[in-house]
C-alpha cells in the first residue's frame, strides 16, 4: 500500500515535468519564482487547466484530470493506511 503512494506520486511528478510544466511555459504562464515544488506544481496544474479549457485542448484537459485523480487516490490510500487499516 505504501508503495502505491510512492508510485502515484512519482507518476504525477513525471506528468508535471514532461507534460504540464512544458505546456504552461510554451503558453507563457505558470512562472512562480521563489516557490517550492509543491506550489509550482499546483500553479502549473491550475494554469494548464485554464489554458486547455480556453483553447479546447482535450489532451491536456485529460492530463489535468488524471493528475487530480492520482492525487485523490493517493490521499484515499494514505487515509486508509492511517485510519482504516488493521493495527
What is the chain's pLDDT, residue by residue, as a tens digit (87 residues)?
778 989 999 999 999 999 999 999 999 987 787 778 889 999 999 999 999 999 999 999 999 999 999 999 999 998 998 898 676
Take residue 50 and report the three cell numbers written for it. 485554464
Say how many Å lie between the first and final Cα of the chain, rounded: 14
CA distance linking residue 3 with residue 22, whole number of Å: 28
Phi/psi-derived region of residue 49, left when phi > 0, alpha when psi is between -120 and 50, beta in every other case:
alpha
pTM: 0.86
CA distance linking residue 9 with residue 22, whole number of Å: 19
Amino acid at each position: 500500500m505504501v508503495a502505491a503512494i510512492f508510485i502515484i506520486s512519482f507518476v504525477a511528478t513525471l506528468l508535471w515535468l514532461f507534460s504540464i510544466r512544458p505546456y504552461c511555459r510554451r503558453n507563457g504562464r505558470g512562472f512562480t519564482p521563489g516557490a517550492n515544488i509543491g506550489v509550482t506544481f499546483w500553479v502549473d496544474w491550475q494554469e494548464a487547466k485554464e489554458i486547455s479549457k480556453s483553447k479546447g485542448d482535450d489532451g491536456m484537459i485529460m492530463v489535468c484530470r488524471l493528475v487530480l485523480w492520482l492525487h485523490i487516490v493517493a490521499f484515499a490510500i494514505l487515509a486508509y493506511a492511517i485510519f482504516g487499516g488493521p493495527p
